[in-house]
């Protein structure tokens, strides 16, 4: 199993032909059908125009109150509220949000790093659709299925340190169900849903670099299960989640 | 960055010379200094004799009560209680425990798969020490530092599917602090603790296979930061954790 970065993507701007650029770079880097591409969400968001200028944001009353309570800018608070279904935990300036996609992450995934001053990068509106578009371009260029995982860097309950997790998936099953398999003693395996898209994201994260210079990582030799792909499979049903309520 | 399984470990029993066996297999598989070994905890636990026969366990009153409430065997409940500092969440048969190490996981990490009927595998008593012993043997055999990560498969709050996380670390910093670095626009990076030992564990998990046939994975090309290693770095301070309380 092998991972390597696609080089040469450069800074992405709204409207850039990212899928075509990635297909070209994938071919140039030696990717082939059956490989997987993992890409950070930021270039995807930028290409899709999901960058907000804070000066253009009009904070409402709730955002102004949240700004006073957290010390964040009111414009940023307005964006966080717009991008959130709910705020599930807060402490001082830390806001843990449930995005409209259902992901639980700080500040609804809004990011101020590696974007010009006075702007903020939002998550793609439909990351699975973004992944499907990239996968289609790569699969055509490389003449066979190339699954795509779009990832973001999240904190976690109970554990320190950030890891990348999948927020958009195309071409492979995000969660692989091994039930029906057997262990080496022949006992049926239970509770063995493998979060493969998250494993891929975490692995690729090691090569992305914190300066975000290499956001696209090729993966070879991964035994994925082909499928439509749905990052929603990675979201635990709120009714089944023991850590959501207060 | 490249990952491959060490083959030939076979079934491990209490008292087996696991560190020597791993050093031999590592050399045979082409590992060299600067590579990292990720190994599932189960063979480590087995070699250390951390396998309990349920028939030898005398359940106390608390375990009997827990057994009635959860439908689990009283002997297993006794083991779970012994291995736990506290039970932090429960629903029906699901017990989310804080182990004496500080890890939050189901059933205090006790596992019934890939172990003979009537037995259960416990986590190593001191997984960092276990990792240090293996790292010492591999580093001597390969004449240079070979860090070791011992992992377990955990569920997660909010996200479906299991991923491997680190429970024992030697030879590398479990969490890498990128503060002081700068993004591409020159702004100081904040909140960029990278959970490298968990990233390595998740990546290696893809090659371990759910039949547990390849529990030891070699990793090459990982930009780790050498250090003593401490899986406790991955445990969030309970006072800083927003998801622990009821």
Shortest Cα distance from B240 to chain A (angstroms)? 9
Quick one: average pLDDT of B116-131? 96
Under the banding of pLDDT at 50, 70 and 90, the label for residue A209 is confident
Quick one: average pLDDT of B163-174? 98
Contacts A199 to B, Cβ<8 Å = 163-164, 202-203, 205-206
Mean model confidence pLDDT for chain B: 93
Under the banding of pLDDT at 50, 70 and 90, the label for residue B192 is confident
Under the banding of pLDDT at 50, 70 and 90, the label for residue A39 is very high
| Cα gap B216→B219, rounded to integer Å | 10
Domain boundaries, chain B: 2-50+123-236, 53-103
- In the prediction, which pLDDT does B242 show? 83
Q: Across the interface, which of B3, B205, B233 has its CB nearest the CB of A160?
A: B233
Q: Across the interface, which of A115, A160, A207 has its CB nearest the CB of B175?
A: A160
Above 70 in pLDDT, residue B191? no
Q: Which residue of A has its CA nearest to B217?
A: A1
Q: Within the 157-176 window of chain B, which residues sit less than 8 Å (CB to CB) from chain A?
A: 157-165, 174-176
* Chain B interface includes A223 (CB < 8 A): yes
| Cα gap A205→A216, rounded to integer Å | 10
Q: What share of chain A is helix, strand, coil (3-state, %, to 5)?
A: 35, 25, 40
- In the prediction, which pLDDT does B221 show? 97
- In this predicted model, what pLDDT tens digit does every residue of A93-152 receive, in sequence order? 889 999 999 999 999 999 988 788 899 999 999 999 999 999 999 999 999 999 999 999
* Chain A interface includes B206 (CB < 8 A): yes
Q: Is B29 left (phi over 0), alpha (psi -120 to 50) or beta?
A: alpha
- In the prediction, which pLDDT does A133 show? 98
Burial class of residue A28 in the structure, from the number of CB atoms within 10 Å of its CB (0-12 exposed, 13-18 middle, 19+ buried): exposed
Contacts A181 to B, Cβ<8 Å = 210-211
List strand residue ranges (DSSP E) for B7-129, in order.
Answer: 36-40, 51-53, 84-91, 94-99, 104-106, 119-121
Above 70 in pLDDT, residue A210? no
Q: Across the interface, which of B160, B183, B198 has its CB nearest the CB of A211?
A: B183
Identify the CATH class of B53-103. Answer: alpha beta
Q: Choose among B29, B211, B53, B200: nearest CA to B131.
A: B200
Shortest Cα distance from A139 to chain B (angstroms)? 23
Shortest Cα distance from A163 to chain B (angstroms)? 6
| Cα gap A200→B174, rounded to integer Å | 19
Domain spanning A2-50+124-236: CATH 3.40.640.10: no
Under the banding of pLDDT at 50, 70 and 90, the label for residue B183 is low
CATH fold of B2-50+123-236, please? 60s Ribosomal Protein L30; Chain: A; (3.30.1330)
B199: tokens are: 């990233």
* Chain B interface includes A211 (CB < 8 A): yes
Produce one character per residue of B25-59: b if its CB has 16 or more CB atoms within 10 Å, e if not.
bbeebebeeebbbbbbbbbbbbbbebbbebeebeb
* Chain A interface includes B202 (CB < 8 A): yes
Residues near A117 by beta carbon (within 8 Å), at least 6 away in sequence: B185, B187
Question: With a cut of 0.90, is the ipTM above it?
Answer: yes
Q: Choose among A232, A213, A122: nearest CA to A166.
A: A232
Q: Which residue of A has its CA nearest to B5?
A: A1
* Chain B interface includes A156 (CB < 8 A): yes
C-beta of residue B55 within 8 angstroms of C-beta of residue B118: yes
CATH architecture of A54-120: Alpha-Beta Complex (3.90)
């Amino acid at each position: 199993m092998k991972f390597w970065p696609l080089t040469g993507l450069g800074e992405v701007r709204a409207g850039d032909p990212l899928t075509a650029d990635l297909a070209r770079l994938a071919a140039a880097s030696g990717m082939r059908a059956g490989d997987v591409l993992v890409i950070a969400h930021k270039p995807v968001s930028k290409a899709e125009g999901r960058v907000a200028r804070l000066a253009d944001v009009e904070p409402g009353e709730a955002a102004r109150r949240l700004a006073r309570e957290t010390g964040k800018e009111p414009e940023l608070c307005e964006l966080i509220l717009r991008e959130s279904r709910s705020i599930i935990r807060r402490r001082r300036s830390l806001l843990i949000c449930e995005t409209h996609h259902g992901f639980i992450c700080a500040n609804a995934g809004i990011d101020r790093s590696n974007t010009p001053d006075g702007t903020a990068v939002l998550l793609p509106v439909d990351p699975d659709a973004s992944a499907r578009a990239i996968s289609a371009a790569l699969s055509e260029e490389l003449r066979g299925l190339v699954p795509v995982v779009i990832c973001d860097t999240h904190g976690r309950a109970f554990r320190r340190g950030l890891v990348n997790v999948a927020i958009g998936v195309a071409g492979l099953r995000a969660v692989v169900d091994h039930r029906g398999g057997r262990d080496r003693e022949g006992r049926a395996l239970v509770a063995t849903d493998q979060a493969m898209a998250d494993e891929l994201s975490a692995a690729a994260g090691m090569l992305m670099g914190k300066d975000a210079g290499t956001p696209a990582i090729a993966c070879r030799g991964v035994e994925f299960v082909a499928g439509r792909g749905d990052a929603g499979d990675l979201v635990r049903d709120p009714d089944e989640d023991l850590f959501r309520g207060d």
